[in-house]
Amino acid sequence: MPMNISKWDVIIGVDCLFFRDYHDALITFLLRILQFNGVCIFFQPKRSGTMQLFIDKASHHFIVEIIENYLEEVLISFYLINLSFLTPYF
């Protein structure tokens, strides 16, 4: 990767922490491309404990904040969609 790579103010990641073998590489990459005082936002499920493993490593380099159910409307929509698959069809 070139040394003069662009820096970003905001980086968004979705469901990309599951493979723990790539955590160190992802942290290194974020350190290279995230602007000083930039923000990285991950939308991530808590499956298999991999999110917490990533947080444990990332917290050595970044300020980490966990926000659960950040928007009630999104959470309600998620449950309604999933419930619609459980509705029996007669």
Write the pLDDT tens digit of every residue in 55-90: 999 999 999 999 887 677 777 776 777 665 555 554
Asked if residue 28 belongs to a domain, the reply is yes
Does residue 78 lie within any of the structural domains?
yes
Chain-centroid distance, C-alpha 1? 23
Residue 52 lies in domain: 8-86
Is residue 48 domain-resident? yes
Contact status, residue 50 vs residue 18, Cβ threshold 8 Å: yes
| Total number of domains in the chain | 1
3-state secondary structure of 90: coil
How far apart are the C-alpha atoms of 74 and 77, rounded to whole Å? Answer: 5
Please check whether residue 3 lies inside any domain of the structure: no
Domain assignment of residue 50, yes or no: yes
1 located within any domain? no
Per the domain annotation, does 77 fall within a domain? yes
Is 44 part of any domain?
A: yes
Q: Is the pTM of this model over 0.75?
A: no
β-strands 34-43, 8-14 pairing: parallel
